[in-house]
């Protein structure tokens, strides 16, 4: 497995990241297998959010760590906060909304530490842009958590370049990432300035839904059928599965994208690692893009 810093002043993380957002749908035993399979294959970074699994996924993950504390020693934990929705676990919330107040960010980070059963979060992200976000409050929350050693690094998720720039301007330390949706099926962030802005700040994007939600499998329209046919053709050339090729397409980008693998199947985690060894040809990269757009670049 390859490891790389999200930012020169940020943490070193595995080039593939295990996303735990659906892990509440499987048993404790499978979650333990997912963790162990990830670590055994060099995927040492795990992505969470406080709301995943109706506020329960962090605790499920934490239960494994409490039972097997040695697993934590070679692991980087990322989590997100800032979204609230009605739930029996949050009886005071009556409407889905965002909360990026200093009070909530600090509380959410401390609650994530309790759920995960750890003493620090490696990277804490604001989950969604909040129209009521006050950058000074966020900066104060981040600074307090950093000084207390409760969160070591900070970033955002789903922010536009302008929103990233605005918040960065209030912080005395760098935002190390913006977690955004990027895949062959959604390549716009590679063209609209989102990834370019991160490169300007020497930060890397974490790419969620890097396989496009399995769109290539359905073959439900002309574009997905082109992708499915092309992936089978390239699979023979590169001796790789469709998902490995889709990950390799992202890994080819010079900004060092970090795909977040959102599977609940241990074997899919193990399979994904081969994508790091695929040296995708530049022309093949552009031909794969053409499968989706239906045309050559201008």
Nearest Cα residue to 167 out of 40, 108, 176, 196 = 176
Distance CA 36, CA 96 (A): 35
Distance CA 270, CA 264 (A): 12
Dihedral through CA 28, CA 29, CA 33, CA 35, nearest 10? 20
Active site residue 52: yes
Structural domains in the chain, sorted by start? 3-214+250-278 (3.20.20.100)
Between strands 12-14 and 3-5, the pairing is antiparallel
Distance CA 295, CA 273 (A): 31
Q: pTM for this structure? A: 0.96
Q: Which of the residues 3, 28, 52, 238 is marked catalytic?
A: 52
Nearest Cα residue to 230 out of 298, 273, 189, 184 = 184
- pLDDT digits (tens), the chain, 298 positions: 788 999 999 999 999 999 999 999 999 999 999 999 999 999 999 999 999 999 999 999 999 999 999 999 989 999 999 999 999 989 999 999 999 999 999 999 999 999 999 999 999 999 999 999 999 999 999 999 999 999 999 999 999 999 999 999 999 999 999 999 999 999 999 999 999 999 999 999 999 999 998 665 665 677 778 888 999 999 999 999 999 999 999 999 999 999 999 999 999 999 999 999 999 999 999 999 999 999 999 9
Please name the helix (run of DSSP H) or strand (run of DSSP E) that holds residue 36, with its range, or none. helix 28-40
């Amino acid at each position: 497995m390859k490891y790389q810093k999200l930012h020169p002043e940020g943490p070193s993380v595995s080039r593939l990241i295990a996303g735990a957002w659906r892990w509440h749908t499987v048993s404790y035993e499978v979650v333990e297998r997912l963790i162990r399979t990830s670590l055994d294959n060099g995927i040492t970074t795990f992505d969470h959010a406080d709301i995943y699994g109706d506020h329960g996924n962090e605790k499920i993950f934490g239960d494994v760590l409490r039972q097997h504390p040695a697993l934590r020693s070679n692991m980087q934990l990322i989590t997100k906060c800032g979204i609230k929705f009605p739930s029996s676990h949050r009886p005071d919330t009556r409407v889905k909304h965002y909360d990026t107040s200093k009070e909530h960010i600090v509380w959410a980070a401390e609650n994530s530490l309790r759920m995960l059963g750890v003493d620090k979060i490696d990277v804490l992200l604001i989950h969604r842009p909040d129209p009521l976000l006050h950058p000074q409050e966020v900066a104060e929350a981040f600074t307090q958590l950093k000084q207390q050693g409760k969160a070591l690094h900070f970033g955002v998720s789903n922010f536009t370049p302008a929103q990233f720039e605005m918040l960065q301007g209030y912080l005395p330390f760098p935002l190390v990432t913006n977690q955004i949706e990027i895949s062959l099926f959604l390549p716009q962030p590679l063209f609209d300035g989102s990834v370019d802005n991160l490169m300007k700040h020497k930060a890397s994007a974490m790419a969620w839904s890097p396989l496009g939600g399995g769109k290539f499998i359905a073959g439900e329209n002309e574009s997905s059928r082109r992708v499915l046919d092309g992936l089978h053709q390239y699979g023979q050339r590169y001796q790789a599965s469709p998902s490995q090729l889709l990950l390799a397409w992202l890994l080819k980008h010079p900004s060092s994208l970090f795909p977040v693998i959102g599977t609940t199947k241990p074997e899919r985690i193990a399979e994904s690692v081969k994508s790091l060894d695929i040296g995708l040809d530049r022309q093949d990269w552009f031909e794969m893009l053409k499968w989706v757009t239906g045309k050559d670049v201008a």
